[in-house]
């Protein structure tokens, strides 16, 4: 049961209840507690003149049936579909041509068995039997009638250790029965093909493997049978079909079989191979949505519910999406199966910050400066990394990783100065950071991850008025580059005196891929294009020689309009930072203390109009509006201590310690710590 991951089906409520499985075999014992209530009253014996459907407990048919339907009753063993019903069709004869066979079958009796199963409306027929040759035109006609009625036949591959299955399993790839017959081989507890099992061979596209070694079944009293053979692999598949057809009553038996084949766990050579065929039976995979999935919308449309790899919501939202239940709804997969789903899972939280010291990069810089008429100057600066030795260890994180290629960090800036006026244009690549920092609101403008920007400024003595605008592409692992993913604009007024300065900024941030640093690819139905208006105040002040205070606070208002998710009211966000920089006489020359709150949503609410999960599978869908808070459960506060020491040889050592309370704005999250050290010397 663990090997086929049946717990995934059971935990969803699937037991096989209401589904009948026909077992064409040697009859069934009706006295075992393990099968009490599991045997159909229509069970029969198709051998002419015998009329003995019920047999002693040790029969082959009883043990096969036990694998499918043994009761979950606290003793003995458990069937795969432990509340399913067995229609036992006895078709064995004792007059076997091979003296080593105890149970054998004639083609004519198997014809009657198939027709009886069809007449009783059974859609799953287990045939743990087989031989070396085709079973004749009459059997093939009966098999065609069974498949045409919507039934599927689960046939054991045989126990001769051969390269191909026996018959009737080999009918699985006959075009007349394609999709209606499956050949089943056997593997053991280590997922290795059993030595006795006939392999997939020429039925590889319609062959899967299931446990068939040391199977416990046929329990009565205090004893059970421990048996091996592909006869006991096949009923694992039959039971799995019963679970699927109960859990998803819209499925036909052929669709259920296709799901088991498509979701089999790969084994042996990659893909379909001549040993394991399509792979190993895996109910965890079978009970997951398969193929393209979609969620219905009230307007008659649908949204594709595939989660984009590498996507995440902005860190300011923390766990707001993960802890809500408002986005519970339904989705349908490629087989039109209905699943309950929590759409909040499509918005993973932002990755944790990677605390790493910035590597020293020796730049090659070219500078050109021209004097213009009237005293103006035109400056052009271009820089790119110079040759550096190989690092002791590679440094990669989510944004700087080998799968993105080794794009060199390059940048160029044109600067024009004329009297009070200055104008600058900058272009960067390879992760180069914008040089237009230092004004209030940097925390918001940095979310654009700009790779180009322009800035104009006018000075009036100690006051500077400036405006800037920029934008950038976004790149993520294994994703195409998202062109022009975000843009920002900012206007600032700043004052700078002898002892400090103050600046105030207003701006706007447009993010096509999601709010406040999110990465939700534009082609996704989960994309949340947003626009944020922000306001920020920042400054610094020298209190006494050697003691400097710095601070900044920002406030943002974000509007979001997604494919199905929108905002009832704007999301208000905030960030702030307070710092103290002073001298140090013990072990260091400078020391800094910083207390900061990263950007966090303070208020706001999302809403969506979604389908309700119906009480019954076939109930018509109803829709309702749901809302949830955009604010996270906690508040991250960072405390940072940094120190620098100048050494006698002209080099310097820096050390920074970081402690984060409620990291990622998650209440009760364990504190996180980082310690960063560096040594630098100039030549």
Pick from 150, 133, 158: nearest CA to 209: 158
pLDDT at 12: 92
What pLDDT shows up at residue 391?
56
Q: Count Cα neighbours of 113 within 13 Å in the Cβ-side half-sphere.
A: 30
pLDDT score for 407: 64
Give mean pLDDT, residues 287-309.
85
* Structural contact between residues 183 and 203, judged by C-beta atoms closer than 8 angstroms: yes
DSSP 39: B
Check pLDDT > 60 for residue 659. yes
| CATH numbers and ranges of domains, the chain | 7-286 (3.40.50.200), 294-346 (no CATH), 363-680 (2.40.160)
Closest CA to 280 of 155, 190, 367: 190
Rounded to the nearest 10°, the torsion over CA 655, 661, 663, 667 is 170
The angle at the Cα of 443, spanning 575 to 489, to the nearest 5 degrees, equals 125
Cα–Cα distance, 676 to 673 (Å, whole number): 10
Mean pLDDT of 456-465: 93
User: What is the arithmetic mean of pLDDT over 25-47?
Assistant: 95
CA gap 432, 411 in Å, rounded: 7
Q: Which residue has the tokens 């990659």?
A: 270
Q: Where are the beta strands (DSSP E) in 164-279?
A: 181-187, 207-211, 215-220, 223-227
Q: What is the pLDDT of residue 349?
A: 85
Q: Which comes out higher in pLDDT, residue 352 or 453?
A: 453
Percentage with pLDDT > 90 across the chain: 65
In this structure, what token pair is assigned to residue 659? Answer: 């402690």
The confidence score (pLDDT) of residue 593 equals: 95
User: For residue 189, what is the DSSP state?
Assistant: T
Residue 395 has pLDDT above 60, yes or no: no
Region 293-308 average pLDDT: 83
pLDDT at 476 over 70: no
DSSP, collapsed to helix, strand or coil, labels residue 188 as coil
Q: Which one, of 235, 421, 258, lies nearest residue 335 by Cα?
A: 258
Can you tell me which residue has the tokens 């869908």? Answer: 621
CB atoms within 10 A of CB 367: 9
Look at residue 430 in the predicted model and tell me its pLDDT: 74
Tell whether omega for the bond before 168 is within 30 degrees of 0, i.e. cis: yes
- Cβ-based burial of 556 (10 A; exposed 0-12, middle 13-18, buried ≥19): buried
Q: What is the mean pLDDT of residues 61-83?
A: 94
pLDDT of residue 587: 73
* CB-based contacts of 334, cutoff 8 Å, min separation 6: 290, 291, 292, 293
Residue listed under structure tokens 């207003």? 506
- The model's pLDDT over 79-102, given as tens digits with 9 standing for 90+, comes to 999 999 999 999 998 776 666 666
Q: For the chain, give the number of residues.
A: 683
Specify the higher pLDDT residue, 401 or 625: 625
**Predicted local confidence at residue 307, as pLDDT:** 64
262 close to 351: Cβ distance less than 8 angstroms: no
Q: What is the pLDDT of residue 357?
A: 63
Give start and end residues of each alpha helix (H) in 296-377: none
* Alpha carbon distance 672, 194 (integer Å): 50
- State whether residue 238 is helix, strand or coil: helix
432 vs 115, residue with greater confidence: 115
pLDDT-wise least confident of 55-69, 199-213, 402-416, 522-536: 402-416
Here the tokens at position 212 are 């068939």
Region 62-88: mean pLDDT is 95
Which pLDDT score, from 0 to 100, does residue 362 have?
67
Around Cβ 645, how many Cβ atoms within 10 Å? 16
Of the listed ranges 94-108, 168-182, 416-430, the least confidently predicted one is: 94-108
Look at phi and psi of residue 164 and say left if phi exceeds 0, alpha if psi is from -120 to 50, else beta: beta
pLDDT at 17: 97
Q: What is the pLDDT of residue 386?
A: 66
Q: How confident is the model at residue 34 (pLDDT cuts 50, 70, 90)?
A: very high
DSSP collapsed to 3 states, 84-100: CEEEEEECEECCCCCCC
26-30, 179-183, 583-587, 633-637 — which is least confidently predicted? 583-587
**Residue 540 has what pLDDT?**
92
339 alpha carbon, distance to own chain's centre? 16
**By mean pLDDT, which of 216-220, 343-347, 455-459 is the weakest?**
343-347
What span, in angstroms and rounded, lies between the C-alpha atoms of 313 and 324? 14
Cβ-in-10-Å burial (0-12, 13-18, 19+) of 574 comes to middle
What's the mean per-residue pLDDT of the chain? 89
SS3 205: helix
Q: Could you read off the pLDDT of 324-374 as tens digits, one per residue?
A: 999 999 999 999 999 999 988 888 888 777 776 665 666 677 888 888 777
pLDDT of residue 210: 98
What confidence score (pLDDT) does residue 404 get?
44
Among 290-294, 462-466, 536-540, 661-665, name the one with the lowest average pLDDT.
290-294
Question: What pLDDT sits at residue 389?
Answer: 58
Query: Helices H, strands E: what count in the chain?
Result: 8, 31
The pLDDT value recorded for residue 438 is: 77
């Amino acid at each position: 049961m663990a090997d086929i991951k049946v717990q995934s089906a059971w935990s969803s409520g699937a037991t096989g209840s209401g589904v009948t499985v026909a077992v064409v075999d040697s009859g069934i014992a009706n006295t075992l507690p393990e099968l009490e209530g599991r045997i159909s009253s229509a069970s029969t014996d198709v051998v002419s003149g015998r009329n003995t459907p019920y047999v002693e407990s040790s029969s082959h048919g009883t043990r096969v049936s036990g694998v499918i339907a043994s009761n979950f009753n606290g003793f003995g063993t458990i069937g795969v579909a432990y509340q399913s019903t067995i229609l036992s069709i006895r078709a064995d004869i004792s007059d076997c041509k091979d003296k080593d066979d105890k149970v054998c079958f004639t083609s004519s009796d198997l014809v009657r068995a198939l027709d009886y199963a069809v007449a009783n409306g059974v859609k799953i027929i287990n045939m743990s039997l087989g031989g070396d040759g085709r079973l004749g035109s009459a059997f093939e006609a009966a098999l065609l009638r069974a498949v045409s009625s919507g039934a599927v036949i689960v046939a054991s591959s045989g126990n001769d250790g051969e390269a191909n299955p026996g018959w009737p399993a080999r009918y699985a790839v006959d075009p007349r029965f394609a999709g209606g017959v499956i050949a089943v081989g056997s593997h053991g507890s280590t997922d290795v093909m059993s030595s006795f099992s006939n392999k997939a061979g020429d039925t590889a596209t319609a062959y899967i493997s299931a446990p068939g070694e040391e199977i416990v079944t046929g329990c009565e009293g205090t004893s059970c049978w421990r048996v091996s053979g592909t006869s006991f692999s096949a009923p694992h598949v039959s039971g799995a079909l019963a679970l699927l057809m109960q859990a998803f009553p819209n499925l036909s038996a052929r669709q259920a079989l296709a799901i088991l084949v498509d979701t089999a766990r790969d084994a042996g050579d990659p893909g379909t191979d001549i040993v394991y065929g399509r792979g190993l039976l895996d109910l965890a995979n079978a009970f997951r949505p398969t193929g393209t999935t979609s969620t219905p919308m009230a307007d008659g449309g649908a949204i594709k519910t595939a989660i984009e790899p590498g996507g995440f919501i902005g860190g300011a939202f923390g766990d707001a999406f993960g802890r809500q239940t408002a986005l519970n709804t339904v989705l349908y997969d490629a087989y039109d199966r209905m699943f309950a789903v929590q759409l909040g899972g499509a918005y993973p939280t932002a990755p944790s910050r990677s605390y790493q010291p910035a590597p020293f990069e020796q730049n090659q810089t070219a500078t050109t400066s021209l004097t213009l008429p009237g005293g103006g100057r035109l400056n052009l600066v271009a820089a790119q990394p110079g040759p550096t030795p190989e690092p002791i260890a590679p440094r990669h994180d989510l944004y700087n990783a080998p799968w993105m290629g080794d794009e060199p960090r390059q940048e160029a800036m044109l600067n024009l100065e004329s009297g009070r006026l200055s104008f600058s244009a900058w272009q960067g690549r390879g992760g180069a950071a914008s040089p237009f920092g230092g004004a209030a609101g940097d925390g918001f403008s940095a979310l654009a991850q700009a790779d180009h920007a322009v800035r104009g400024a006018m000075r009036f003595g100690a006051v500077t008025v400036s405006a800037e605008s920029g934008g950038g592409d976004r790149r993520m692992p294994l994703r195409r580059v998202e062109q022009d993913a975000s843009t920002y604009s900012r206007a600032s007024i700043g004052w700078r005196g002898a002892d400090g300065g103050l600046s105030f900024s207003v701006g706007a941030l447009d993010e096509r891929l999601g709010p406040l640093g999110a990465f939700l690819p534009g082609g996704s139905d989960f994309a949340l294009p947003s626009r944020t208006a922000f306001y920020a105040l920042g400054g610094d002040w020298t209190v006494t020689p050697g003691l400097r205070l710095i601070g900044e606070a920002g406030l943002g208002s974000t509007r979001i309009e997604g494919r199905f998710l929108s905002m009832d009211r704007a999301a208000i966000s905030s960030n702030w930072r307070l710092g103290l920089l002073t001298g140090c006489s013990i072990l260091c020359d400078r020391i800094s203390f910083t207390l900061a709150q990263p950007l966090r949503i303070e208020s706001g609410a999302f809403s969506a109009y979604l389908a309700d999960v119906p009480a019954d599978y076939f109930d018509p869908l109803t829709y309702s509006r749901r809302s949830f808070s955009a604010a996270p459960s906690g508040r991250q506060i960072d405390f940072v201590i940094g120190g620098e020491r100048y050494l006698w040889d002209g080099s310097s050592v820096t050390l920074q310690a970081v402690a984060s309370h409620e990291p990622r704005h998650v209440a009760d999250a364990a504190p996180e710590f980082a310690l960063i050290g560096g040594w630098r010397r100039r030549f």
